[in-house]
Structure formats: structure tokens, C-alpha cells
Amino acid sequence: MFDRIAGVYDVMNRVMTAGLDARWRERAADLAAVGQGDRALDVACGTGDLALELANRGAQVTGSDFSEEMLTRARAKQPAIEWQWADALALPYP
């Protein structure tokens, strides 16, 4: 399903939340207290907006998702972040 909607996901997210999605991501990053030099794993990262927020705060971020199309869009936003295909129910991380 997410592969099919990847191309419109960001716009749908903004419209359905009346733009609040950006504030929710900022709040999540604040609560995570991630900063310079920290490592963060964004599971089910979708198109990568939370991973980008964490990276902008100086964290070394890995974004993972099971939708290749979502990851394609995330990679286009920021190729320097490590984007990996992974199933949230069987993550390949220690």
C-alpha cells in the first residue's frame, strides 16, 4: 500500500493534519533529546521527514522502512542519511 501512495504521501500528510505534522516531528525530536553526535534510528521512516529533523539537529541517523518507494523519496531529500530497507518486525540491528 505505501509503495502506491509514496508519491503523494507528503502532500496528503500536510493536508490531512492541516500542517501540524511538522510541529509533531519537532516535538518528537525535542522529546528524544537527540543532538550533535548522537545516533538515532527512525523505524518506519516513510519519506524521511523525522529522520531529516533529527539529522538537522546533528544526529547520525539511519532511516528504515519496508517500502522501497518511500525510501526512494527519502533518499532524494537527503542522500547523506543512511536509508535502509527493513521490516519493523524483524529489524537487522543489534
67-80 pLDDT tens trace = 999 999 999 999 99
Question: Smallest Cα–Cα separation from 41: which of 87, 83, 77, 90?
Answer: 83
Instruction: State yes or no: pLDDT of 1 exceeds 90.
Output: no
pLDDT (mean) for 27-46 = 96
**Domains, the chain:** 2-85 (3.40.50.150)
Mean pLDDT of the chain: 95
CA-to-CA distance for 60 and 52, rounded, in angstroms? 10
pTM score, whole prediction: 0.91
